[in-house]
Amino acid sequence: MKNALPDWERVIKRSLIKDAWNLSGGSAGARTLATIVTTQYGVKMSRYLAGKLMKELGLTSCQQVKHRYKRGSKEYVDIPNLLDHEFAVTAPNQVWCGDVTYIWTGKRWAYLAVVLDLFARKPVGWALSTYPALKALQIAWEMRGSQKG
């Protein structure tokens, strides 16, 4: 074989490739691994050799797929705008508003629902759940406590 590495040198480079791949969480490819081995370990390596060693070790680059947000299919125009952008409230508990935020926790979606008093600009109830948004908003609404006045 032309340019074949001695066994001990190949074993060392395979070990370095495996270490660098583990440090990357399995996401690094041949180019990245060659760069890591060359810069951090001081062992010169081309991306082609890194690719061959990855193949020998059965390593593949696995990129985590990012979640794609769904676009709304239709707009609900029937909902009346009761506030009409009049956010100047003169007393507490006159106007409450709610909002729901979807949070990706790394494994699944969580729903954070908050009910705000627009006078105090502070939450009067909130809920974090794995239920759909409406259920989380209902829990936040129930948590708000009794209305004064």
* 92-145 residue pLDDT tens: 888 888 888 888 888 888 888 888 888 888 888 888 888 766 766 677 677 766
- The helix/strand/coil state of 72 is coil
Shared-domain flag, residues 131 and 110? yes
Domain with 32, as residue range(s), is 7-57
**Helix or strand or coil: residue 110?**
strand
Residues 51 and 106 in one domain: no
DSSP 105-121: -SSSEEEEEEEEETTTT
Whether 63 is covered by a domain: the verdict is no
Question: Other CB atoms closer than 10 Å to residue 146's CB: what's the count?
Answer: 4
pTM of the model: 0.45
Strand partners, 122: 117
Closest to 96 (Cα-Cα) out of 107, 87, 105: 87
CA 102 to mean position of chain CA atoms: 11
pLDDT tens figures, 36-69: 999 999 999 999 999 999 999 999 998 877 777 7
Q: Are residues 52 and 97 in the same domain?
A: no
